[in-house]
Structure 1
């Protein structure tokens, strides 16, 4: 019986992870996404985008519940101040949502570039008089990079009910982001 555990362990370690395909987001940004991800339509973009600024690019899976977006901010930011940026963006997350459970926050290197990564579960509670009284609970993995005085924000979001199925894929996607 021990050999069965050994074989299963080998396949778990040897599994290649999620299948991703390279996508050109802009002339300077590429990322690898799952094969069933497609660009979001203009109509869906208006329904999904939670920011006042339209994302540079947004992709969704075939069920239209798992999203990946890239946004290049218009704000100017000093290129070497990731620590201050972390404090600023983390504080803004806590104002955007009713509740935030931070799962991970770190400065790391991706494709020879330092980035700030945060993963969290967010809850948006409905307004007191809202017709729909269900809270919206999502898993989000967001990555910030400072490039030429601008912040490039990569954002992966899915419903919390399926996030364990997508966590590895989110990490793999973020590890493929290349900025020239």
Structure 2
């Protein structure tokens, strides 16, 4: 009986409606973010981004299975170059993954801003050994004030059905200043 009640409560918690909170994440971007996400700890940042540039924003869920980041960097691309930027990423993303399956690869407009948008399932190619796992990934690329802005979300396949609609809602709320 107690096991049944625990199982029902776990089921309800897993499928409960996600809440969102509008947040100013950087001096250039705000968006609605799932309240299930938290900022990564320094230790998590160090282990996930070893030797790489630390993102402006890096968040994860309670189990550290989800990865949400925002990164801006100086670029030679101009505001009107998003279509060219998409062509560049069309050819540069596939070599980074094995067994890649795109569900979205197109230009989109969100709140009057153009983005190159990618959604796919794939196994990161840079992982060593057989331990690399398939990931659902959602990427948005745009140019803002002479900077390349990358918004990234990823999670393992067993979390995809829960997090894919959450990521889509979050990404649909992106607003630049």
2:152 counterpart (149, 152, 155): 155
Contact 1:70-1:153 within 8 A present in 2 as well: yes
The question of 1:86 aligning with 2:86 is answered yes
Deviates more, 1:42-51 or 1:74-83: 42-51
TM superposition shift of 1:173: 0.6
Normalised TM-score (structure 1): 0.81
TM superposition shift of 1:148: 1.5
Q: Distance in 2 between matches of 1:78 and 1:33?
A: 28
Cα displacement string for residues 21-47 of structure 1 (whole angstroms, at most 9, x for unaligned residues):
112211221121111211111210122
Normalised TM-score (structure 2): 0.82
> What secondary structure is seen at the aligned counterpart in 2 of 1:173?
helix
Contact 2:18-2:35 within 8 A present in 1 as well: no
> What secondary structure is seen at the aligned counterpart in 1 of 2:80?
coil
Deviates more, 1:49-58 or 1:142-151: 49-58
TM superposition shift of 1:51: 7.8
Q: Name the structure 1 match of 2:36.
A: 36
Unaligned runs of 5+ in 1: 1-16
Q: How many residues align?
A: 160
Contact 1:93-1:100 within 8 A present in 2 as well: no
Cα displacement string for residues 125-174 of structure 1 (whole angstroms, at most 9, x for unaligned residues):
654xx4xx233110000111211121111101100222122111110010
1:168 counterpart (159, 165, 168): 165
Unaligned runs of 5+ in 2: 1-16
> What secondary structure is seen at the aligned counterpart in 2 of 1:172?
helix
Q: Distance in 1 between matches of 2:124 and 2:69?
A: 20
